[in-house]
Chains A and B, each alone.
Chain A
């Protein structure tokens, strides 16, 4: 049923309210006497005026026009849309965590510091690193922190290394991060199978190489088999290796970035460690480092002291701070609960099932969809719409048709090096029945493309709006409501 939902500003009546506030219980002068006239707001901001029921109906209506993991299968590649356990939500809301002020005396926050310390230790173990900071708020923020750590490390050794090597298969945040850290980007081509071209890498490294940023498994869902050679080449040139942990769901307990030769890593707790994506955040992007980079970690650092923990701000070589306090603590608590629920065997089983599920989808879908690589994938697989192209059907059309079948589409048009890419990441929390249902839908769409392409090209037919005019939105932006 196609229908716009009225805006919150179009609902309610002047004078309505959705929460009752207490009367002022202290004697005090009027606001007008406390705030200089020139500083004082004369007309209230145009905020909604609705009753509590109107508020709940509005947001309930909006939630019903939103698709989440709890709604249905969400195989969005590179995003690890696994199930978000409910007890983790309860954990983040416990008064002792949620109602804890970040600047309270450390003695009154020992339980929270214990969670931070434990998470640092667990993630260091999973990554094969020596220390971890929980401060970054998301993956890209972890990248920024990690690259700043690398710059500080080189600078401290008296070297001004100005270039970051990034493969052409990299996620956009990698080059963007290097740029906002004031570094130049050297993009190197990948082989057709996504592997790094070692000759290209040898030609690219030099005394100006600060780091190589790499995702392994790569953004094609394939493990970089030459990772040890890659590490040796970069290290021989004096550069460091940065691991983008977006794809770590494939390797928990299987293989460790630190053992592969990486010096710095970020994890996305909102991917690998089951914290909810929240509609695009909040996430958490902890960064792990080898020992040589520890002095540069952001402040404060949690340290053990007197049988408890304290926060150490006295870190003269630190890069400073990347977030106001200690990280997205509420997210960290949820990930902590996940790791404690899974245990070492559970995490390993999760990675193994994630890889099993991706290969199952790949093996069944490649009859109808072009698979650019003839090998097993890791936790996600990349297909294309090459076989559907003769019928005029593109990847975007397939994605939109999946909406009619009740599925969130895979990631599309990424990685950029695969034409018309469809990147499927099922995750380990999906059952075989769910995968079978999805595979059937994908196969049906392939058949529709051959027999009745219009159905696919005009999809979706069943959503609350049809395909939207994105060009118009960008040409003449309407980015707020005006009375």
Chain B
């Protein structure tokens, strides 16, 4: 299948094993430019492994990943920051390493975006987990990538920050950035995802809209409890 003109990323039959444990068993999907794709699944489903392969930090045992030009930004699940450096120093270091045209402007932009301007001089180690996560995300955005991979970006954020994050991410998608993020919060995925990729035990069980998944789970009527619908879906699929 040849990639469509609007395809930003194409994934074909990706497999990955850690010794005996098979973390991914032939996952295939496509992501279009400007699409918001949620990878959902329970703990240990293989979400981090999949995003890591898309980011190029590990190689798949089988299968291929093709990007249709542009940078791929990556925000790891665990904050990747220098805890002994200040917020500003971290941002500036990565802005310089990303060869941002104007590192200072990029730093100011991210400080405003994360709302951490008044803590710019504080060492990251003195920040709360949620605030560290904000900087972690900000660094992934510095390169202004064509495809942005976010591994559980909202974990540890307070509701206000969460809304801020998703508004920002939705804005990026509207501007043409392909955003692929993982979460096990089905409500968030239903709210902010155009599309869901359901992963369980390394298998892609479902690829489509939240409404289609509900129908597949046999749920009827108005959405009351998305999580219950999701668990019913998994049970029906034998997970």
Q: Is B truly associated with A?
A: no
Contact surface of A with B, Cβ cutoff 8 Å: none
